[in-house]
Amino acid sequence: MNGMDEGSLRTAAEMLSRARRVAVLTGAGISAESGVPTFRGAGGFWRGRSAMDLATPGAFSRDPEAVWEFYRFRIAALAGIEPNDGHRALAELECRCDQFWLITQNVDGLHRAAGSENVTELHGSLERVRCRICSYRCASSDLPPEAVPQCPACGDMLRPAVVWFGENLPDFALVAADEAMRECQVMLVVGTSGLVEPAASFARMAGSRGAGIIEVNLESTPISHVADVSLLGPAGVVLPSLVELTG
Ligand code: OAD
């Protein structure tokens, strides 16, 4: 079923009303209306370089200054952004469920800022930095000012506490995501292109275990063919309508 027509919206709302255990997977699209650029859209470029080329351990080893310049820009940009109605609708949905898991690929902290509680950040967070080598961590707001900040504990380079391409996801995040996929009765997939593993296969896993899948996106994605309902439209509009109808 396709389109943000009344019928699709009602079908999705009925699925959600019947579910006591709900999982949500979000991607960059949910934060687009807060002004955070997505990765694969036109906004996914920074000074002519693809954001995806800078978000790798190789780029950091080769040119830590450029990678830090990019991340300082992203960290600074967080100060001016706020959750939108889509984030807030998911926080409200959590209150209505017996069990709720929000698994996000985003590193902007906006789900927690909107009031969501059981949030798993698959790709880490821009709100923290860590040492490349030792266990030192601190808040991004306490970042030393040098172009390439050094670890006060061991002197190696500090880096953003995010997961880069080619790196493993944290174990605790995979455990939480696995529990969500096994236990949920309905899974909402919001604003992700569905191209990056393992997040891309979460909907397939949940679906094969019998969960209903609802997708919210501006356009069709590789996840659309496993979705029971695809709601095409901006998350900041679709999610509040959906949660309101869920009652
Ligand atoms: P992408 O930039 O790949 O995809 C964003 C998706 O959001 C697209 O499918 C858009 O159609 C959709 N979208 C855009 N605006 C929307 C809106 N207002 N409402 C609903 N949908 C909207 O971002 P992700 O799928 O999150 O990983 O990318 C996954 C991962 O790849 C990222 O976490 C990042 C990236 O490289 C790492 O950095 C490790």
30, 196, 223, best to mutate for ligand 1 pocket (most atoms within 8 Å of CB): 196
Q: How far is the CA of 105 from the centre of ligand 1 (A)?
A: 9
Cβ 38 under 6 angstroms from ligand 1? yes
Q: What is the pLDDT of residue 39?
A: 75
Q: What is the pLDDT of residue 82?
A: 97
Known active-site residue 225? no
3-state class (DSSP) for residue 59: helix
Taking the CA of residue 55 as reference, the ligand 1 atom at the shortest distance is 38
Nearest CA to ligand 1 atom 15: 29
Cβ 165 under 6 angstroms from ligand 1? yes
Structural domains of the chain ordered from first start: 6-35+82-123+169-245 (3.40.50.1220), 45-77+130-162 (3.30.1600.10)
Q: How far is the CA of 169 from the centre of ligand 1 (A)?
A: 17
25, 53, 74, 193, best to mutate for ligand 1 pocket (most atoms within 8 Å of CB): 193
Cβ 123 under 6 angstroms from ligand 1? yes
Q: What is the pLDDT of residue 197?
A: 86
Cβ 104 under 6 angstroms from ligand 1? no
Is 86 in contact with 30 (CB distance < 8 Å)?
yes
Sheet holding 119-121, edge to edge: 119-121, 99-104, 21-26, 186-190, 212-217, 229-232
Q: What is the pLDDT of residue 2?
A: 45
pLDDT tens for residues 191-226? Answer: 999 988 888 899 999 999 999 999 999 999 999 999
Q: What is the pLDDT of residue 4?
A: 65
Q: What is the pLDDT of residue 187?
A: 98
Q: Is 190 exposed, middle or buried (0-12, 13-18, 19+ CB in 10 A)?
A: buried
Q: What is the pLDDT of residue 239?
A: 98
Q: What is the pLDDT of residue 1?
A: 42
Task: Pick out the chain residues at pLDDT < 70.
Answer: 1-4, 41-44
What single-letter amino acid sits at 116? S
Q: What is the pLDDT of residue 42?
A: 59
d(CA 94, CA 77): 28
pTM of the model: 0.94
